[in-house]
């Protein structure tokens, strides 16, 4: 007799094959890209995937919707650049140290903002990104202000643009893999179970003994850390920081849209959303220049997601597949010892019949 776990093995094999195919496609993309522009679009999409996955540590696990996560991305970029310029640190040391500083800053921000829920939390997150925009735009002597800040690139001027794009594509892919692995580990842990309980019903989770505030704060800080790493890595690749772009509510809205589109409760949902939304944004910008047509397209896309796929593409496809799958059999595997015990407990029917 086949057990339930053995019946699921083919599905696990399919998932493993799909994962290996995805990894192979990512590794092969720089070689398949026809020119440097397409390769740069790939870097942008990978950057979006890192940021959306980082956002999902809060949005996916706790259900708290933050529209101000661009603040942590921008802070990570500026922290990396300023540590290189003013502290004369190595680029990669500055990247890690900058992300740690942003994570430390996220602790008091989280203590203050996580005391409210729902629309109040959204408003607080928007206020944060507006405050950081004002500070970095006004503090021109230190941050460059509205003139922006030039970031020294780590590989030097001798590295040509296509090679620069290729290296940063793989660096973003590596960071994305680490973020996905961390999200997967949390999802399977007791800590992740507590976070999901908060997402479903925070008051009930607290009544059952879950330290809700501490759990939310840890997830918030982890999210800020990975978001800052993504922002810092993007700054090293792009080589220039503009406060209006770095601290943009629109950028934070993109992260929410990407995660919602793919599915915030799934591991690869933000990645799928980043590919779709990131490609769409770059396509509309290339086709229509400086017009705001891409904002209209993104608004329509968000409306379609909310109306037709509120849980996202991956959960919708999973539900569709489950409808056509045969129901799991109720037969389970029985050991030899259990079978012997069951036979010993049976009444001696034959002997009673002879009597």
Query: Cα dist. 174→141, 165, 188, 347 in Å?
Result: 35, 14, 21, 64
- Which of 76, 75, 56, 74 minimizes the C-alpha distance to 66? 56
**Cβ proximity of 81 and 154 under 8 Å:** no
For the chain, domains (ranges, CATH) are 33-324 (1.10.3470)
How far separated are the first and last CA of the chain, in Å rounded? Answer: 36
- pLDDT tens digits, the chain, 355 residues: what are they? 444 444 446 667 877 888 899 899 999 999 888 888 899 999 999 999 999 999 999 999 999 999 989 999 999 999 999 999 999 999 999 999 999 999 999 999 999 999 998 889 999 999 999 999 999 999 888 888 888 999 988 987 777 788 899 999 999 999 999 999 999 999 999 999 999 999 999 999 999 999 999 999 999 999 999 999 999 999 999 999 999 989 988 888 899 989 989 998 889 999 999 999 888 888 887 877 666 777 787 778 778 877 887 788 888 888 777 777 665 444 455 455 554 555 565 555 544 444 4
Ordered DSSP codes for 78-131? HHHHHHHHHS---HHHHHHHHHHHHHHHHHHHHHHHTTS-HHHHHHHHHHHHHH
Q: Is 327 helix (H, G, I), strand (E, B) or coil?
A: coil
Question: Cα 216 from chain centroid?
Answer: 16
The single residue listed with the structure tokens 């409760």 is: 265
Predicted local confidence at residue 308, as pLDDT: 80
CB 175 within 8 A of CB 233: yes
Biggest distance spanned by C-alpha atoms of the chain: 106
The count of other CB atoms within 10 Å of the CB of residue 284 is 18
> Do residues 70 and 248 touch, judged by C-beta distance below 8 A?
yes
* Tokens representing residue 63 in the block: 């259900």
Give the pLDDT score at 309: 78
Q: Where are the alpha helices (DSSP H) in 269-346?
A: 269-288, 293-308, 313-324, 336-345
**3-state secondary structure (DSSP) of residue 150:** strand
**Cβ-based burial of 229 (10 A; exposed 0-12, middle 13-18, buried ≥19):** buried
241 phi/psi in degrees, rounded to 5: -120, 130
Half-sphere exposure of 303 (CA within 13 A, CB side): 6
Tokens 């608004």 found at: 299
Question: Do 71 and 49 touch, CB atoms closer than 8 A?
Answer: no
Alpha carbons 79 and 84: distance in angstroms, whole number: 9
Buried-exposed string 46-83: b where 16+ CB fall within 10 A, e elsewhere? bbbbbbbbbbbbbbbbbbbbbbbbbbbbbbbbbbbbbb
What is the radius of gyration, based on Cα positions, of the chain?
A: 25
Q: For residue 289, is it left (φ>0), alpha (ψ between -120 and 50) or beta? A: left
pLDDT at 325: 67
Q: Quote the pLDDT of residue 328.
A: 47
Task: Count CB atoms within 10 A of the CB of residue 192.
Answer: 17
Phi and psi for 2 in degrees, rounded to 5? -90, 135
CA torsion sign for 58, 59, 61, 64 is: positive
Distance CA 50, CA 57 (A): 11
Question: Residue 3's CB: how many other CB atoms inside 10 A?
Answer: 13
């Amino acid at each position: 007799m086949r057990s339930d776990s053995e019946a699921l093995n083919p599905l696990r094999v399919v998932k493993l094959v799909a994962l290996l195919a995805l990894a192979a496609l990512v590794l092969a993309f720089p070689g398949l890209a026809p020119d440097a522009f397409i390769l740069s679009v790939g870097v942008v999409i990978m950057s979006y995937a890192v940021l959306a996955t980082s956002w999902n540590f809060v949005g996916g696990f706790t259900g708290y919707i933050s529209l101000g996560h661009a603040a942590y991305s921008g802070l990570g970029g500026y922290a990396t650049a300023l540590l290189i310029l003013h502290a004369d640190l190595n680029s990669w040391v500055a990247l890690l140290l900058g992300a740690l500083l942003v994570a430390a800053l996220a602790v008091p921000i989280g203590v203050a903002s996580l005391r409210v829920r729902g629309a109040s939390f959204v408003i607080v997150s928007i206020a944060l990104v507006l405050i950081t925009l004002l500070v970095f735009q006004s503090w021109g002597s230190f941050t460059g202000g509205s003139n922006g800040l030039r970031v020294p690139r780590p590989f030097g001027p001798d590295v040509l643009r296509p090679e620069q794009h290729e290296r940063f594509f793989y660096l973003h892919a590596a960071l994305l893999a680490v973020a996905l692995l961390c999200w997967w580990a949390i999802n399977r842990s007791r800590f992740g179970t507590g976070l999901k309980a908060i997402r479903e019903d925070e008051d009930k989770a607290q009544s059952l003994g879950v330290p809700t505030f501490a759990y939310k704060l840890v997830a918030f800080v982890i999210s800020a850390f990975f978001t800052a790493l993504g922002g810092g890595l993007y700054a090293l690749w792009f080589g220039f920081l503009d406060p209006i772009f770095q601290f943009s509510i629109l950028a934070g809205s993109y992260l929410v849209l990407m995660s919602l589109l793919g599915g915030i409760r799934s591991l690869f949902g933000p990645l799928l959303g980043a590919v779709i939304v990131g490609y769409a944004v770059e396509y509309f910008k290339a086709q229509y220049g400086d017009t705001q047509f891409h904002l209209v397209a993104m608004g329509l896309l968000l409306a379609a997601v909310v109306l037709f796929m509120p849980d996202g593409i991956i959960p919708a496809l999973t539900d569709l597949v489950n409808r056509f799958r045969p129901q799991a059999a109720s037969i389970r595997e029985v050991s030899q010892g259990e079978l012997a015990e069951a036979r010993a407990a049976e009444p001696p029917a034959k002997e009673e019949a002879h009597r």
